[in-house]
Copies of this chain bind each other. A is one copy, B any other.
Amino acid sequence: MPLTPEQKAEIEEQRAAARPTRRATVPALEDMLFEPIEVLDHGFVRVIDYMGDDGAVVQAARVSYGKGTRKVSEDRGLIRYLMRHRHTTPFEMCEIKYHVKLPIFVARQWIRHRTANVNEYSARYSILDKEFYIPAPDQLAAQSAANRQGRGDVLQGAEAQRVLDILREDADRTYAHYEEMLNEDTAGNAADPGRSGLARELARMNLTLNTYTQWYWKCDLHNLLHFLSLRADAHAQYEIRVYADAMLKTVEAWTPLSCEAFMDYRMGGVHLSAAGLDAVKKLIAGEDAEAVRAASGLSAREWRELMAALGRDG
């Protein structure tokens, strides 16, 4: 993630400023403001702005005239109650805004979350930088045999090297052709005065999906937690999960009580189906696991998933 000196200076200038406000502030998040958290080989997530804190959740739940907060222990109890019983609207009262740099194929997954605000760098209007995602060697995974949308073992030796070579060379070549078709020098003039240059909105189609793009992305806390529950999950593709992991750290700094409740009730929890719950009741009653399985009506796959959730061999 090589920021240019100009970009670094712009960030430092923003970090240096401090102004008084009557709004709720969160010092732990203020410390992180504007600073890029590196993700993948050239990407980042950085917090640009935020609104509200754990107290704002409490305040909205109580529709109070003041801060809503009484004692931290009461706030914690209320926040956990809200999270446990899926009273989600008070968590919508906090808002956060990120600047994210990410490969286009990751952006295409991310954008599926519709309850957010987005401004993406326009490749109709501007020229994309020459930056591509090339997986680290330990992420060059084979197709999973068991899961059609999962990863298997890491590729080794010549096959791994060949993949890296392909990804680098194709990205380099298609980008070089992108520049050739655009025919613009850095000042925006024709590089080759004998040619017109293809429209930016057309030339971009020659780029590969690992090209980096960037956007401003803004979301309320409830919808952010929903996003994280899906994208920080073990089933999410690694390349988006690392962004979710980075964002989770910012949520921990921003709204520690809400984040704790989220980890306890959502991320660390498990949903049992009606049949799964029935099987659990029988297992607690000491019934034989094989008999329970046979009577449960659960498919082999569901039973395996249940046993895994309970930390048992299937």
Contacts and interface: CB of A to CB of B under 8 A. Distances in A.
A58 to B, nearest CB: 11
Interface residues of A, number: 139
A79 interface: no
Interface string A10-31: 1101110111111111000010
B196 A142 contact: yes
A7 to B, nearest CB: 4
A188 to B, nearest CB: 9
A294 interface: no
A124 interface: yes
B34 A206 contact: no
B271 A271 contact: yes
A198 B107 CA distance: 21
A99 B50 CA distance: 19
Q: Is the interface of A mostly helix, strand, loop or mixed?
A: mixed
Contacts of A114: 114-115
Given A97-B51, A310-B281, A271 B269 contact: yes
A22 B51 contact: no
Interface in A194-222: 195-202, 204-210, 214-216, 218, 220
Contact of A3 (B23, B65, B200): B65
Given A93-B97, A152-B199, A197-B143, A63 B119 contact: yes
A51 B95 contact: yes
A6 B166 CA distance: 34
A235 to B, nearest CB: 8
Among A11, A117, A153, the one with the most B-chain Cβ atoms within 10 Å of its Cβ is A117
A52 B117 CA distance: 13
Contacts of A218: 92-93, 95, 220
Contacts of A155: 196, 198
B275 A271 contact: no
B270 A264 contact: no
Contacts of A299: 77
Contacts of A59: 48, 216
Interface string A300-314: 001000000111100
Given A142-B199, A201-B237, 18 more contacts: A11-B66, A15-B22, A19-B21, A21-B30, A22-B33, A84-B273, A108-B111, A111-B111, A142-B197, A143-B199, A155-B196, A207-B208, A208-B208, A265-B271, A265-B274, A269-B273, A269-B276, A284-B310
The 8 residue pairs across chains A and B that have the minimum distance between CB atoms: A268-B274, A10-B66, A51-B51, A142-B196, A92-B117, A205-B210, A114-B114, A60-B119
